[in-house]
Amino acid sequence: YKLADISNITVNITPAVPVLSWPQAAQTVTYTSSAVSVTSPVVTLVNNETFSGNITYSYKTADATSDTDGLPTDAGTYLVKAHIKAAGNYVAADSQDMTLTIEKATPTITINTMDGKIYDGTAIASPPNGNMTITGAAYGDVKFVYSKNSDMGSSLSAPPQNAGSYYVQARISETNNTHAVQSAAVGFTITKASAPAVADGFGRRRRVVRLVEPYLGLQALGRTRRRSERHRAQHRTGARSDGRH
């Protein structure tokens, strides 16, 4: 037999399709003010080859018609897809949707110290940023509430200015991404001012002592004495007119 001539044969090897599998069909994370991190899907290749490429993501809300590249930041519920590009012996592939929930964060806030003051006719100043510990929020998000009660009942309409004992509490309102929180109440005191000093006739400065009630009492006593003296004088004058001595 005579062998026939063999021509070149073209063989097409079709790229394989990777499989992206989420470890959980749903994941839950907490808001951090940055794009969240998720547990990546497992990429299965032929013959247990190791995947060394990059995985990218896109997301959308349930009512959205198109995806957004990357991962979301704000609290809410999203559908997330994972993607790998075509490379080498593999075509590009996408995962199924994974349900991602981003829960609201809970800030923390503490008033470390609250300085009192001596009465000067002006309202107490709120605790400065340096006197506080805040996480998950900014000092500008804080509202201060004042009360004469430690349970913060019957809060005051404005920071106090009169002498007395008070309490202050820091509060952060709820937002789309964070829960409402409040600090423990911290007490402080506005002490009474000393009486003002005035100069006496010799150039010496003396403290003014307020004796309002005693002064009023002395005034009343003086008036009584003067009336008694006038009465006795009138009686003596009448007696002399009658010839009595």
Q: What are the 10-residue block averages of pLDDT along the chain, 245 residues in total?
A: 67 93 97 96 95 96 95 98 96 97 98 96 96 96 97 95 98 97 97 78 54 47 62 58 49
| Separation between Cα atoms, residue 245 and residue 243, nearest integer Å | 7
Which pLDDT does position 149 carry in this prediction? 96
Beta strand 26-30 with 98-103 is parallel
27-57 as b/e, with b when 16 or more CB fall inside 10 Å? bebebeeeebebeebebebeeeeeeeeeeeb
Fill in the amino acid letter for 83.
H
Which pLDDT does position 209 carry in this prediction? 46
For 71, the 3-state DSSP assignment is coil
Which pLDDT does position 232 carry in this prediction? 65
CA triple 176-178-181, angle to 5 deg: 130
Which pLDDT does position 14 carry in this prediction? 93
H or E stretch covering 82: strand 76-84
Which pLDDT does position 211 carry in this prediction? 42
Which pLDDT does position 214 carry in this prediction? 47
Closest to 122 measured CA to CA, from 177, 56, 190, 217: 190
| Separation between Cα atoms, residue 94 and residue 20, nearest integer Å | 7
| Separation between Cα atoms, residue 37 and residue 153, nearest integer Å | 42
Please compute, for residue 72, the number of CA atoms within 13 A of its CA located in the half-sphere on the CB side. 24
Which pLDDT does position 237 carry in this prediction? 57
Which pLDDT does position 21 carry in this prediction? 97
Closest to 161 measured CA to CA, from 195, 209, 193, 131: 193
